[in-house]
Amino acid sequence: MDSRDPPTTAEGWYALHDFRSIDWDGWADTPDRTRDRLLDEAQAFLTDALDTDAGQSAIYTIVGADADLLIVHLRPTTADIDALDRATQRSTLGRLTDRVDSFVSVTEASGYSDRFEAAIEGTGGEGIQSYVDSRLYPTIPDAEHVVFYPMDKRRDPEQNWYDLPFEERSAHMEQHGEIGRKYAGKVTQMITGAIGFDDHEWGVTLWADDLTDVKDLLYEMRFDPSTSQFAEFGPFFVGRKIEPSDLPAVFAGDRIAAAGDSGAGAGSTGADDAAASGSHGHHESDAGSAGSGPHGHGGEADGHPGGDTDAHGSDAHPDGEAGEHPSNGGDGRPETVDDPFDQIEATDDIEAVLVRFGVDPPADGGYVLALTADADASELNDAVAALRSNFDHYDSHLGTYVRASGGETRVISCWDAERAATTAAGFLLDLDGVTGGVRGPIAGTAASATETADLDDLDVFAGRPRDDEVTALVAFSEADPDALADALTDQPFADRAGHHETTVYREHGGGSAAVVTLWDELDDAGAVADALDRLPGVEDRPDDGYTTLGLFYRVQPDHREEFVATFETVGETLAEMDGHRESRLMIDVGDDTNTFIDSRWTDRESALEFFRSEAFRETVAWGREVLADQPRHVVLADPE
């Protein structure tokens, strides 16, 4: 009979989850004068345990269950774990408590891809290598709650995980990871392997500030076939993070403040599938990280690119498999590659880069990478497209693009938070020809525009394009463009301070016209709003409220007809979008390469959805080849 192919695994630090119960009867009989001394000694022991150059330790109170405390140790060798175990038993803390459960395991990474296996062998790129290292040598997060549970893969005759073909297991892991990716930034996970160590195969440790995030994650995973058909679970432990200084409050039965109050974190052990398998606290989860979206750390709930283990499902990925131990550094961690962020210069003006390369800033803000590339933009597209499809699994991913301007190529990747961008940077820097760049936060915008003016009862629109130094006032009119031009001769705008230019536009294929006047500041522009409102045939602004977008484009002369034809095609797409009222192409009467699109929507969200749409992205990408300069996008009217 043929045997199945197992995924390669890599191991890192050894882990001990030590569950202890306080001897409450003995404590009640202890004289008050003795209690302070015992607590001081117990605090000193725990403080020493937390102060380590190689590995980490953390302490949690346990809510419910038979245990009162959980001490988690991560160390490079079994000798280190063994010494800690015996030292605890001999310490004052050991005399005040009894061990009720324990779980011995080793941090593990495994998976189902050649790229991950290359990282284990030391031949992978920096991004995947950093991710693997973070899984094998994790940092315990400062989250309030911890949840721990052991698990196995089912070996029933009709549902035997280990009898599935490699490809089928890989597909299960990928699907399972899709769920976890939704929780990136909310739930952090550590998977430790215990096959041959314990009655269970894996241990799953989850950290979160909001315990209901763990519940939501595990509840959703229950419906995934890799869990519903192939997973078995042991007991669940839930706890809150504490410090050694909190021990007196623990033994006094006092309330311990959360991290935001007095610095006590929390650890709560929740469960993935609170299902049966009742052995003692050891369980190992055939799993990967649970979470969503790239993040700087190797264990955020399926939320990072990386490998997976059979237990929980693949992480967000570039997935992977693992094999041997990377070499250890002096602090117990391997000699890891440099932080990818060190290769990318921080800037406070990342929006200027976006404007230069024609990428609209994320509407709700976020963090942006703008990486330089030696390769031609067209050569990068396929490689970036592969990563983009991977990144799109994460809610934290806002868009990744290849852009060229002035002979320079950039890979621009937008994320909702810096932590997500941190992990993505490693994968992007692995691409051939990508060599650093700039990075920085970006504030929220509304359809890439700000400062919509309130002109009360006037039939005049106003707004300031994002990252621009002018304010635009617009009046739409049913009058002939020549009549508008004649009327403007009586308005000496050019003599006023702050004036840039005033232009008359006619509607392509229609009878409307518009006057657009640009000013330094809204106060300057406001002084001429009355004059615009008195122009002949000015259209009334509807009373029912809507969002109007002004999309200003200057087209290269040779592409003018192509631009107009594309607008007509895009107009057909817009007509089918929810919330779209109308869009008109307006053309400068004195320069037919100078245009703007008046696009009207029933509400802000519908307009923003248009900006986020693939159709708009494709149009913007095409526009880079035909536009003579950077576009201006401005909200001209907004009921909000």
Q: Which residues are catalytic?
A: 149
CB 481 within 8 A of CB 505: yes
Residue 367 tokens, joined? 């963090």
Residue with tokens 């209690």: 35
Which of these, 169, 171, 172, 111, lies nearest to 136 by C-alpha position?
111
CA distance 233 to 287: 12
Residue 141 tokens, joined? 């997060």
Q: Assign 588 to helix, strand or coil.
A: strand
Which of these, 526, 484, 533, lies nearest to 505 by C-alpha position?
484
- 363 Cβ neighbours under 8 A, 6+ residues apart: 444, 445, 446, 447, 448, 608, 611, 612
* Region class of 408: left (phi > 0), else alpha (psi between -120 and 50), else beta: beta
Residue 468 tokens, joined? 């621009």
Task: Show the 3-state SS of 477-540.
Answer: ECCCHHHHHHHHCCCCHHHCCCEEEEEEEEECCCCCEEEEEEECCHHHHHCCHHHHHCCCCECC
CB 307 within 8 A of CB 319: yes
Q: Assign 271 to helix, strand or coil.
A: coil
Angle between helices 604-612 and 614-623 (to 10 degrees): 60
Neighbouring-strand partners of residue 545: none
